[in-house]
Each structure stands twice: as structure tokens, then as C-alpha cells.
Amino acid sequence: MSRKTLGLSDIKTGQRAKIRSMLRSNDKDYLGLFGMAMKKTRLENEMQTIDKRKMNIEAEIKNLKREIEKMEQVAPAQGKHAKKNKLCRNAGAKSSLKAMVMDY
């Protein structure tokens, strides 16, 4: 009794069975139309999400600009006072320091 061993060449594939993924008849037009309609809806949904994201980013930028303007109004006033306080502290520190001579 002889057994025939199958090899890789004996495996049925789509090409060997003559099976195609696209229909050969006029039905492929409807399939193409369906595919294009699905792609269109997907792209429209993507456009809506991009628009929402863009609006969120613009709102965040406006908020940051407002905060920056507030900080710029407060910061120069604090900067002037800080410089005066620093000068006063430095002037007082120089006069209050005493030199000590340390001999070992």
C-alpha cells in the first residue's frame, strides 16, 4: 500500500481554486459604490472630529492669551517693587556687615 504525501504544491489556494475576491459580474459596481459610500461617511466623520479638535485648540489658545495678558499686567508691577526691595536689602546688608580678622 503506497501513500501519497502531499506537498506545498498540492495545497489549494484562491488562485488554484479560481476564486476571486471581486465579483466578475455587474454586482461589482454595486460593491464599488458601497465601498465608496462607506469611505465618504468615514471621511466626513473624520472631518467633524478634526473640526471639534480645532475649536478646542482655538479656545485653549484664547484662554492662554488671556492668562498671559493678566500675568503681564501683574508682572511689571511686581518687577518694579522687587527691584526696589532688592536694592534696599543690598544697601542695608553692606552697611550691617562687619569684618572680623581671624588669626590662627
The mean pLDDT of the chain is 77
Angle, CA 94 vertex, CA 88 and CA 100 arms, to 5°: 155
The CB-side HSE value for 4 (13 A sphere, CA atoms) comes to 3
Q: What's the confidence (pLDDT) of residue 102?
A: 78
- Cell numbers given for 31: 460593491
Q: What's the confidence (pLDDT) of residue 88?
A: 55
Domain regions of the chain by residue span: 25-91
Residues 6+ apart with CB under 8 A from 37: none
51 secondary structure, DSSP code: H
Which amino acid type is present at position 89? R
pTM score of the predicted model = 0.45
